[in-house]
Chain A
Amino acid sequence: MTPTVLPYGERAVLLEVGSIDEVLGLYAALRAAPPSGVEDIVPAAVTVLVSFVDRQALGDALPALRRIEAAAPEQAGREVARIPVTYDGADLQDVATLTGLPVEEVVAIHSGTEYTVAFNGFSPGFAYLIGLDDRLRVPRRKTPRTSVPAGSVAMTGGFTAVYPRRSPGGWQLLGRTDTDVWDGARAEPALLRPGMRVRFEAR
Chain B
Amino acid sequence: MSIVILAPGGRTTVQDRGRPGNAYLGVGRSGAADMRAYALANRILGNPAGAACLETTLGGLSLRSSRSAWMTVTGPTVAVTVDGLPVGVRTAFFVPHGGVVAIGVPERGMRNYLAVRGGIDAPLLLGSRSTDTLGGIGPDPLRKGDVLDVGDVPDEPPAGHDVFPATEPPDVTELVVDRGPRADWFTDAAWSVLLRGRYVVTPDSDRIGVRLDGPHLERCRDGELPSEGLMQGAVQIPPIGTPVCFLADTPTTGGYPVLAVVRRASLPDLAQARPGHPVRFRAG
Contacts and interface: CB of A to CB of B under 8 A. Distances in A.
Interface of A: 6-14, 39-49, 51, 119-127, 165, 184, 189-190, 193-194
B229 A48 contact: yes
Nearest to A53: B20
21 contacts: A7-B180, A9-B233, A10-B261, A40-B23, A40-B229, A41-B24, A42-B23, A42-B24, A44-B228, A49-B23, A119-B24, A120-B25, A121-B26, A121-B227, A121-B252, A123-B136, A124-B25, A125-B25, A165-B136, A189-B27, A189-B125
Given A9-B180, A121-B251, A124-B25, A46 B226 contact: yes
B218 interface: no
A135 to B, nearest CB: 23
Contacts, number: 114
Chain B facing A: main interface SS: loop
Contacts of A43: 24, 229
Given A39-B20, A121-B252, A189-B125, A49 B228 contact: yes
Query: On chain B, which size bracket covers the interface?
Result: 35 or more
B231 interface: yes
A189 B27 CA distance: 10
Contacts of B198: none
Interface string B157-193: 0000000000000000000011111100000000000
Given A9-B178, A10-B264, A44-B253, 17 more contacts: A9-B234, A9-B262, A14-B228, A14-B229, A40-B229, A42-B229, A42-B253, A45-B227, A46-B228, A47-B228, A48-B229, A121-B227, A125-B26, A184-B125, A189-B27, A189-B126, A190-B26
A10 B179 CA distance: 9
Interface in B261-284: 261-264, 284
A122 B253 contact: yes
A71 to B, nearest CB: 16
B239 to A, nearest CB: 18
B21 interface: yes
Contacts of B126: 189
Closest 5 interchain pairs by CB? A49-B229, A9-B261, A42-B229, A45-B226, A121-B253
A152 B83 CA distance: 51
B1 interface: no
Interface of B: 20-27, 29, 125-126, 132, 134-137, 177-182, 226-231, 233-234, 251-253, 258, 261-264, 284
Contact of A44 (B21, B125, B137, B229): B229
Nearest to B125: A184
B226 A124 contact: no
Contacts of B233: 9
A186 B18 CA distance: 18
B25 A49 contact: no
Nearest to A43: B24
A42 B252 contact: yes
B263 A9 contact: yes
A188 to B, nearest CB: 9
A186 B121 CA distance: 19
Contacts of A14: 181, 228-229
A51 B253 CA distance: 13
A120 B252 contact: yes
A136 B177 CA distance: 44
Nearest to A167: B136
A44 B227 contact: yes
Nearest to A194: B24
Contacts of A7: 178-181
Contact of A12 (B136, B226, B227, B231): B231
A39 B177 CA distance: 20
